[in-house]
Amino acid sequence: MTGVGRNPRRTLRPVTTRKVVLFLTSKADVQAKRISHKLRKHNVSCFFLPPHQASHRSVTVEIGNSPETDITQLLFPTYSRVSIHLGEVRSVYCPRPLGFVKGIQQDEVEEFVELEHEAALDGALFSFLDSGECVWVNHPISSRLASYKILQLRLARQLGFKIPRTLFTNDVGALEKFYSSEGEIVAKVVNATPTTLPKRFIPTRLIGREAVSKKSAIRVCPVQYQKFIHKDCDVRVNVIGSQVFATAIYSTQIDGRVDIESAVHKTHHLPHDIEERCQLYCRRLGLSYGAIDLLLSHGEYYFLEINPNGKWGWIEDRTKQPLADAFANLLLGRL
């Protein structure tokens, strides 16, 4: 089935191969480009659906009285001259949380239109590609659930990870008690994506008595506080399907992201039980991919958090670990 795009004089060519990987991201996504380059070597068709162009797509979904009569079709931008049926998609690369809308619009009508597009696209993608036959990396609903830090830490403890003692609060008394018992604590944001501003970065920071005494600031919103643990290094664990790639990051900062460019990166060999625990952790959250942050201190590994949409390109560049190949194999159903 073909359809008519924004320019009715253009003829769209339908996709005929069943080797289709759908990328729910822009072609400017460097990591996605690396994966698509690997996939094309296997004669796999790669199609990109940038979230910010959601309202410029044509969506058609027809549901009949039997599965055989169901139709779902997405029309891609006119420059690509392509239509795609979701029944031809074998896997999806989705490196972002749930939702396509780029932000709340000032105009009420425009916002309504954007949200309607999102509801139609999400409904089509999740219902037609939510079977055991389609690999999601990662499914947006699983990514959303996995982004809650309270859930992350409770699951980590349940699976046997060591975790720093942690408090989530905006209660002055609770924080004062926690600080008095631990002595040295760090503060972190509770939300995995606290702002949509691309250049806004809120690092983990060590706080002292002066910060704890600022009662009006503490009450503004909940903050994640943790016992400060002196580290030997940070360990980033990329779990990609059945493969685990660990990297030791030697940073002089409490938050290793602050000096990531100058920090030394080395391939790290995890103990077998920690590696298995990382794999089990991702499976429990329904994730095909997870970037787990551990802290190594005096031979002990502490779980800090997981990012289901974590960046990994710089790790591949620094360590030469074959991460893009692993993602390609996962999307091909080989992991």
Q: What is the pLDDT of residue 59?
A: 77
| 47 and 35 housed in the same domain | yes
Is 55 contained in some domain? yes
CATH of the domain at 224: 3.30.1490.20
| 147 and 236 housed in the same domain | yes
| 237 and 297 housed in the same domain | yes
Is 279 contained in some domain? yes
Nearest Cα neighbor of 85 from 13, 148, 140 is 13
Q: What is the pLDDT of residue 69?
A: 65
CATH of the domain at 273: 3.30.470.20
- Is residue 138 reached through a cis peptide bond, with omega within 30 degrees of 0 on the bond before it? yes
Tell me whether strands 135-137 and 89-93 are parallel, antiparallel or unpaired.
parallel
CA distances from 304 to 44, 234, 241 (A): 37, 10, 21
| 215 and 316 housed in the same domain | no
Is 285 contained in some domain? yes
Q: What is the pLDDT of residue 66?
A: 74
| 285 and 156 housed in the same domain | yes
Q: What is the pLDDT of residue 7?
A: 35
Q: How far apart are CA 239 and CA 203, in angstroms?
A: 24
| Structural domain ending residue among the three candidates 174, 206, 228 | 228
Is 332 contained in some domain? no
| 148 and 268 housed in the same domain | yes
| 45 and 59 housed in the same domain | yes
Q: In which domain, by residue range, is 88 found?
A: 13-137
| 148 and 260 housed in the same domain | yes
**What is the per-residue pLDDT across 119-159, written as a single tens digit (0 to 9) for each?**
888 888 888 787 667 899 999 889 999 999 999 999 999 99
Is 58 contained in some domain? yes
Q: How far apart are CA 249 and CA 185, in angstroms?
A: 21
Is 2 contained in some domain? no
Q: How far apart are CA 264 and CA 260, in angstroms?
A: 8
Is 335 contained in some domain? no
What residues have CB less than 8 Å from 137, skipping those under 6 apart? 91, 92, 93, 94, 95, 288, 289, 327, 330, 331
Strands across the sheet with 185-188, in order? 166-169, 223-227, 185-188, 205-207
Is 3 contained in some domain? no
| 150 and 278 housed in the same domain | yes
Q: What is the pLDDT of residue 17?
A: 46
| Structural domain ending residue among the three candidates 176, 210, 228 | 228
Largest CA distance in the chain: 72
Domain count for the chain: 3
Q: What is the pTM of this model?
A: 0.86
Is residue 228 a contact partner of residue 208, using CB atoms and an 8 Å limit?
no
| 212 and 312 housed in the same domain | no
| Structural domain ending residue among the three candidates 228, 246, 263 | 228
| 276 and 193 housed in the same domain | no
> Would you give per-residue pLDDT tens digits along the chain (335 residues)?
333 233 333 333 444 345 789 999 888 999 999 999 999 999 898 988 876 665 566 777 888 777 666 666 666 554 455 667 777 888 999 998 755 555 555 678 877 877 887 888 888 888 878 766 789 999 988 999 999 999 999 999 999 999 999 999 999 999 999 999 998 999 999 987 655 555 567 889 998 888 888 999 999 999 999 999 999 999 999 999 999 999 999 998 888 888 888 999 999 999 999 999 999 999 999 999 999 999 999 999 999 999 999 999 999 999 999 999 999 999 998 86
Q: What is the pLDDT of residue 101?
A: 53
Q: How far apart are CA 135 and CA 92, in angstroms?
A: 6
**What is the per-residue pLDDT across 166-185, written as a single tens digit (0 to 9) for each?**
999 999 999 999 999 998 99
Nearest Cα neighbor of 39 from 28, 50, 23 is 23
| 129 and 250 housed in the same domain | no
